[in-house]
C-alpha cells in the first residue's frame, strides 16, 4: 500500500550535526570535514540504491564533487548554531520499479528545489534488512544559501516559509500519484490529514445517496471507513536513524504498529470494495435475496473483549455476516438489500471504537518498554561515542605523523 510521508527538517550545529556527516551517512561514502578535521567513513554501509546531485545550470562545476560541495557549505557558516542544510525525506511507493522511483525523486527535486536555486543531493534507500520490505524512501539534502557562478552567497529566508513547505507536501502527492497512474497502478496517496480525507469521502457518499448512485455511495463509504484510523506518528531525526540501524526504541515500535494497522485496514477496505462491487452486480439482477445484515457492533469476540476489535476486524466481521446471511438464500418474496442500507451498516460497523481506551493501552505498552528502550539507546550512544573517539584518535595520529615528517 502506498503511504504518504514527507518530512522536512534542518541540520543545525546547535544539535551537534554537520552537513558533511549527514551526507556521508546518507550516500554511504567517505567524506573528510575540512573545518573540523573529522573523517566520516560510511563507505561499507549498504542499502543505498541511488545517489545523484542536481544543481542550477549557473552553478560552478565543483558542486558535482560531493565532498567539495558540502565542505564549502560548512565553511560558509561561521556561527556555532548555524543551520547548515535542510533535509527532506519522502516515502517512495513500493509499487513502482527502481527506475520509476529514481525518475519520480529526480523530477520532484528538480522542480521544487533546484529550479528555485538550491543544490539537491539525493539518496534513495532500500528497505532495511529487518524491517518492512516495502519501506523504500529517499533523503534529499538541500543547501540553504543561494548559489551563483562564483559559489554560495546569501541565505534565502523565503525557503523557510510554511506555505512553501505546504506546497512541497502537495506537490509530492501530485507527482507520486502521476507516477502511479503512468505505471498503471490504482493506488493513490494524499497529503491532507486523514480527517480531511474521511470528511470528503463521507460528503461524496452523501451526495451519491441523494442522486441515487448506490455503487458510488458504497465505494466512498468503504473509503471513509478505511480512513478512520490513527495517522502515522512523526519520528524525530534521531529515532529515524535508530530505526534504519535496526535499533527498536518505543517510538519506532509504535510507528511500525500504526503502519501495520494502516496497511491492514487498507487491505480489508480494498477487499470489501471488490466484494461489494461483485455483490452490487448480482443485486442489480435481483439474483441474491437478502434477509439483512447483522449489526457488527453487537458482535463479540470469543474472549469477550469486543472493544479491542480494530476497524479492519469490524469491517471484515460486518461483511462476513452479510455474506453468511445472503449466500445460498433463494426463493420469492425476498429483495436484495440496497447498497445504501449496506453502506449504513458498514458505517455502523466502524463505530463504537473506544479510542481513549486504545490510547491508554498504547501508553501502557510504551511505559513497559521504556526500561528496555533506555538501555538500547544508552548502548547505541555508547557505541557512537566510541566511534567518535576512534575517529578523533585516528585524526590525531594522522596529524602527529604529518608533523614527524615535516608535513
- pLDDT tens digits for range 327-340: 443 333 334 444 44
Min mean pLDDT across 112-121, 159-168, 257-266, 274-283 is at 274-283
Rounded Cα distance, 169 and 91, in Å: 12
How far, in Å, are 1, 5, 91 from residue 182 at the CA level?
Answer: 17, 20, 18
Which has the higher per-residue pLDDT, 3 or 361? 3
Residue extents of the structural domains in the chain: 6-182, 194-353
The pLDDT value recorded for residue 294 is 31
- What pLDDT, on the 0 to 100 scale, is given for residue 399? 59
Does residue 290 register a pLDDT over 70?
no
Across the chain, what does the average pLDDT equal?
74
Please write the tens of the pLDDT for every residue from 245-283.
Answer: 566 566 666 666 666 666 666 666 666 666 665 655 555
Pick the CATH number of 6-182 from 1.10.10.10, 3.60.10.10, 3.30.930.30, 3.50.50.60: 3.30.930.30
Cα gap 283→298, rounded to integer Å = 26
Residue 74 reports pLDDT greater than 50 = yes
Other C-beta atoms closer than 10 Å to the C-beta of 135 total: 19
Q: How many CB atoms lie within 10 A of CB 284?
A: 13
The count of residues in the chain is 407
CA dihedral 194, 200, 205, 211 (to 10 degrees): -170
Quick count: other Cβ atoms within 10 Å of Cβ 276?
22
Distance CA 140, CA 63 (A): 15
Average pLDDT of the segment spanning 74-85 = 94
- Which of the residue ranges 159-173, 244-258, 357-371 has the most confident prediction, judged by mean pLDDT? 159-173
pTM of the model: 0.61
Greatest mean pLDDT range, 92-101, 273-282, 369-378 = 92-101
Position 349 confidence tier, pLDDT thresholds 50, 70, 90: low
CA 249, CA 167: separation in Å to the nearest integer?
Answer: 32
Three cell numbers, residue 57: 545550470
Percent of the chain with pLDDT over 90: 39
Classified as helix, coil or strand, 82 is coil
Q: Please tell me which residue, 244 or 384, carries the higher pLDDT value.
A: 384
Q: What is the pLDDT of residue 218?
A: 72
Amino acid at each position: 500500500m502506498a503511504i504518504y510521508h514527507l518530512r522536512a527538517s534542518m541540520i543545525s550545529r546547535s544539535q551537534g550535526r554537520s552537513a558533511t556527516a549527514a551526507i556521508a551517512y546518507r550516500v554511504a561514502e567517505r567524506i573528510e570535514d575540512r573545518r573540523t578535521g573529522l573523517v566520516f567513513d560510511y563507505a561499507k554501509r549498504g542499502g543505498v540504491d541511488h545517489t545523484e546531485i542536481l544543481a542550477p545550470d549557473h552553478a560552478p562545476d565543483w558542486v558535482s564533487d560531493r565532498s567539495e560541495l558540502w565542505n564549502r557549505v560548512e565553511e560558509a557558516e561561521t556561527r556555532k548554531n548555524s543551520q547548515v542544510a535542510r533535509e527532506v525525506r519522502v516515502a517512495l511507493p513500493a509499487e513502482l520499479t527502481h527506475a520509476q522511483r529514481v525518475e519520480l525523486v529526480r523530477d520532484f527535486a528538480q522542480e521544487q528545489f533546484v529550479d528555485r536555486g538550491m543544490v539537491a543531493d539525493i539518496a534513495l534507500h532500500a528497505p532495511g534488512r529487518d524491517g518492512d520490505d516495502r519501506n523504500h524512501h529517499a533523503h534529499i539534502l538541500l543547501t540553504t544559501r543561494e548559489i551563483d557562478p562564483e559559489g554560495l552567497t546569501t541565505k534565502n529566508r523565503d525557503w523557510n516559509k510554511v506555505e512553501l513547505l505546504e506546497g512541497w507536501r502537495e506537490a509530492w502527492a501530485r507527482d507520486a500519484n502521476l507516477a502511479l497512474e503512468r505505471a498503471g497502478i490504482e493506488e493513490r496517496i494524499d497529503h491532507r490529514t486523514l480527517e480531511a480525507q474521511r470528511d470528503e469521502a463521507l460528503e461524496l457518499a452523501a451526495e451519491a445517496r441523494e442522486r441515487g448512485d448506490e455503487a458510488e455511495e458504497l465505494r466512498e463509504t468503504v473509503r471513509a471507513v478505511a480512513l478512520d484510523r490513527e495517522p502515522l506518528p512523526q519520528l524525530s531525526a534521531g529515532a529515524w536513524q535508530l530505526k534504519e540501524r535496526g535499533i527498536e526504541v518505543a517510538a519506532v515500535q509504535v510507528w511500525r504498529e500504526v503502519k501495520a494497522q494502516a496497511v491492514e485496514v487498507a487491505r480489508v477496505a480494498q477487499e470489501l470494495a471488490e466484494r461489494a462491487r461483485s455483490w452490487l452486480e448480482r443485486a442489480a439482477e435481483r439474483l441474491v435475496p437478502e434477509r439483512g445484515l447483522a449489526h457488527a457492533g453487537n458482535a463479540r469476540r470469543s474472549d469477550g473483549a469486543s472493544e479491542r476489535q480494530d476497524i479492519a476486524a469490524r469491517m471484515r466481521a460486518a461483511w462476513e455476516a452479510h455474506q453468511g446471511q445472503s449466500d445460498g438464500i433463494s426463493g420469492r418474496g425476498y429483495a436484495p438489500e440496497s447498497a445504501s442500507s449496506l453502506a449504513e451498516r458498514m458505517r455502523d460497523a466502524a463505530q463504537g471504537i473506544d479510542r481513549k481506551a486504545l490510547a491508554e493501552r498504547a501508553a501502557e505498552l510504551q511505559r513497559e518498554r521504556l526500561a528496555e528502550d533506555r538501555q538500547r539507546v544508552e548502548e547505541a550512544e555508547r557505541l557512537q561515542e566510541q566511534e567518535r573517539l576512534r575517529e578523533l584518535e585516528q585524526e590525531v595520529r594522522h596529524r602527529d605523523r604529518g608533523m614527524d615528517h615535516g608535513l
